[in-house]
């Protein structure tokens, strides 16, 4: 199995042409997946990285994890 990835901008006519690599045989089955919102995902990851440097955010996150540590362990005892 081979994965080929290419990121492009959606053109005005909303059509794209796909060039299949030569090493893929004729009549082979391939899967084509369109994933939109990549900019949103990247922006979200950047915001999360910034948040991890925020002392108040880190304290709140640790407090939440502390609140749930016993609840999380309950299911493991059964």
pLDDT digits (tens, 9 = 90+) for 40-71: 777 778 888 888 888 888 888 898 888 887 77
| Residue 18 counted as domain residue | no
Please say whether the beta carbons of 51 and 57 come within 8 A.
yes
Instruction: Give the domain range for residue 67.
Output: 38-77
| Residue 42 counted as domain residue | yes
Terminal Cα-to-Cα distance of the chain (whole angstroms): 41
| Residue 14 counted as domain residue | no
- How many independent structural domains does the chain possess? 1
Q: Write out pLDDT tens, residues 1-42.
A: 778 888 888 999 999 998 888 999 999 999 888 888 777 777
| Residue 44 counted as domain residue | yes
| Residue 4 counted as domain residue | no
| Residue 33 counted as domain residue | no
pTM: 0.43
CB atoms within 10 A of CB 77: 5
| Residue 69 counted as domain residue | yes
| Residue 66 counted as domain residue | yes
């Amino acid at each position: 199995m081979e994965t080929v990835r290419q990121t492009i901008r959606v053109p005005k006519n909303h059509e794209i042409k796909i060039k299949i690599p030569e090493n893929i045989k004729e009549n082979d089955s391939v899967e084509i997946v369109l994933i939109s919102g990549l900019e949103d995902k990247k922006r979200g990851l950047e915001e999360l990285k910034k948040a991890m440097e925020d002392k108040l955010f880190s304290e709140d996150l640790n407090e939440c994890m502390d609140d749930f540590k016993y609840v999380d362990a309950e299911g493991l005892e059964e």
